[in-house]
């Protein structure tokens, strides 16, 4: 009996090795929910630059917009669990899962790797406010309009919690399709402030049109050493936009492990690391499946609690 079990185990190991050796056998699709030029789109494409080489096949973005990621997640449930389709998963997806607005549950996917851990930043038109303290003081007198991407996700949760915990008037929220469009509309005056990441407003910041005014993080960002954090101002709010990658829960172990190794190698390359530096992040953004998986669970739990407090979940 012991010999039979040993032979069976060896057969499983051999089968897994064969599957991994044969993978990938075609182009890998990476499903996203984001518009062109947004932080999620840029992160995904930067990962793919080197992952094409580390995985040895072409990779393409498949965009499925709508529903705060629900369309992308529901679509992902319909594709084969063979590793040839990867899903970009963000904090926005966690909110959509928490609200039950997608057929997908967290248990339907398997974590692969995280690509960014990007603090939320409140940005304004340069010159609109003299300082972060002025920004807060004016909102205590009268609520302002915040631009976000979609509703009921990390962006508007960040704006609501910042104003609520800071004793400010509740803001009006105006949603846009993507970070690129939002940054443009902030400059145009459509909103008073915007919840963005550095990558989403890089060109406008460089041009001197948009100015980061408060970072919603525990510590100041290395790329923005002169910008105060909310916590420094006595406002206990810290939110990050995280972006990473998952596959179907039923993806063969050997294939999932090969994808993880390929993506980690790609994102630890100087090309991707240079991208992180350019958006004010560092190598700690990139982590493997275990740490990413733990964060996924925490994200969904925390988002559910925040959304219930704000009335998005009854």
**Does residue 153 belong to any structural domain of this protein?**
yes
pLDDT digits (tens, 9 = 90+) for 30-77: 999 987 887 889 999 999 999 999 999 999 999 999 888 999 999 999
pLDDT digits (tens, 9 = 90+) for 201-214: 888 999 999 999 99
CA separation, residue 137 to residues 134, 144, 172, 253, 307 (Å): 5, 12, 17, 54, 26
One domain, residues 11 and 60: yes
Question: Mean pLDDT in the chain?
Answer: 90
One domain, residues 258 and 111: yes
Tell which of 192, 211, 233 closes a domain.
Answer: 233
Per-residue confidence (pLDDT) for residue 222, from 0 to 100: 82
**Does residue 20 belong to any structural domain of this protein?**
yes
Per-residue confidence (pLDDT) for residue 4, from 0 to 100: 61
Tell which of 199, 233, 267 closes a domain.
Answer: 233
One domain, residues 71 and 165: no
One domain, residues 123 and 177: yes
One domain, residues 25 and 102: yes
pLDDT digits (tens, 9 = 90+) for 71-115: 999 999 999 999 999 999 998 899 899 999 999 999 999 999 999
Q: Is 18 a residue whose pLDDT tops 60?
A: no
Mean of pLDDT values over 202-231 = 92
CA separation, residue 16 to residues 11, 19, 86, 258 (Å): 9, 5, 19, 11
> What single-letter DSSP state applies at residue 3?
H
Tell which of 233, 259, 279 closes a domain.
Answer: 233
Q: Is 1 a residue whose pLDDT tops 50?
A: yes
One domain, residues 85 and 105: yes
**Does residue 112 belong to any structural domain of this protein?**
yes
**Does residue 298 belong to any structural domain of this protein?**
yes
Decide: helix, strand or coil at residue 113. Answer: strand
Per-residue confidence (pLDDT) for residue 236, from 0 to 100: 87
Instruction: Identify each DSSP E strand in 24-162 by its residue range.
Output: 28-32, 59-63, 85-90, 109-125, 145-149
**Does residue 81 belong to any structural domain of this protein?**
yes
One domain, residues 185 and 81: no
Q: What is the CATH number of the domain that holds 75?
A: 3.40.190.150
Q: Is 132 a residue whose pLDDT tops 90?
A: yes
Domain residues for 211?
Answer: 119-233
One domain, residues 244 and 187: no
Please calculate the CA angle 223-226-228 and round it to the nearest 5 degrees.
105
Q: Which one is predicted more confidently, 256 or 2? A: 256
- Residues 21 and 130: their CA atoms lie apart, in Å, by 59
**Does residue 79 belong to any structural domain of this protein?**
yes
Q: Is 17 a residue whose pLDDT tops 60?
A: no
One domain, residues 229 and 280: no
Q: Is 119 a residue whose pLDDT tops 60?
A: yes
One domain, residues 111 and 255: yes
- Residues 159 and 193: their CA atoms lie apart, in Å, by 9
Contacts for 309 with CB less than 8 Å, ≥ 6 apart: none
**Does residue 314 belong to any structural domain of this protein?**
no
Number of domains in the chain: 2
One domain, residues 108 and 245: yes
Answer yes or no: are the C-beta atoms of 27 and 59 closer than 8 Å: yes
**Does residue 48 belong to any structural domain of this protein?**
yes
H-type helices in 90-232, by residue range? 91-98, 132-141, 154-165, 179-188, 202-206
Per-residue confidence (pLDDT) for residue 101, from 0 to 100: 93
Per-residue confidence (pLDDT) for residue 305, from 0 to 100: 81
Report whether the peptide linkage leading into residue 24 is cis, meaning its omega lies within 30 degrees of zero: yes
One domain, residues 123 and 217: yes
Q: What is the CATH number of the domain that holds 142?
A: 3.40.190.10
Q: Is 215 a residue whose pLDDT tops 70?
A: yes
Which residues on neighbouring strands pair with residue 120, listed in sequence order?
Answer: 216
Q: Which one is predicted more confidently, 156 or 124? A: 124
Answer yes or no: are the C-beta atoms of 119 and 61 closer than 8 Å: no
């Amino acid at each position: 009996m012991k010999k039979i079990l040993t032979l069976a185990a060896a057969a499983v190991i051999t089968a897994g090795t064969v599957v991994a050796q044969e993978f990938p056998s075609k182009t890998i699709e990476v499903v996203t929910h984001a518009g062109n030029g947004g932080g999620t789109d840029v992160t995904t494409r930067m990962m793919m630059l080197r992952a094409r080489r580390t995985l040895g096949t072409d990779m393409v973005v498949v965009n499925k917009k709508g529903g705060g990621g629900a369309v992308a997640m529901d679509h992902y449930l319909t594709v084969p669990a063979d590793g040839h389709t990867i899903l970009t998963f963000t904090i926005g997806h966690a909110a959509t899962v928490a609200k039950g607005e997608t057929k997908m549950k967290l248990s339907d996917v398997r974590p692969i790797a995280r690509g960014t851990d990007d603090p939320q930043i409140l940005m304004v038109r340069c010159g609109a406010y003299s300082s972060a303290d002025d920004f807060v003081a004016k909102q205590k007198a009268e609520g302002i309009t915040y631009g976000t991407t979609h509703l009921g996700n990390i962006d508007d949760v960040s704006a609501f919690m910042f104003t609520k915990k800071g004793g400010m008037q509740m803001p009006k929220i105006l949603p846009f399709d993507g970070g690129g469009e939002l940054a443009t509309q902030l400059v145009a005056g459509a909103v008073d402030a915007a919840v963005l990441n550095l990558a989403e407003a890089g060109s406008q910041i460089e041009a001197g049109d948009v100015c980061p005014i408060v970072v919603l993080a525990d510590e100041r960002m290395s790329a923005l050493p002169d910008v105060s954090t909310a916590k420094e101002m006595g406002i206990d709010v810290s939110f990050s936009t995280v972006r990473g990658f998952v596959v179907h829960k039923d993806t063969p172990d050997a294939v999932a492990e090969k994808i993880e190794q390929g993506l980690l190698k790609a994102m630890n390359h100087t090309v991707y690391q240079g991208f992180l530096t350019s958006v004010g992040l560092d190598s700690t953004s990139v982590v493997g499946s275990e740490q990413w998986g733990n964060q996924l669970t925490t994200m969904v739990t925390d988002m559910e609690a925040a959304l219930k407090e704000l009335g998005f979940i009854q």
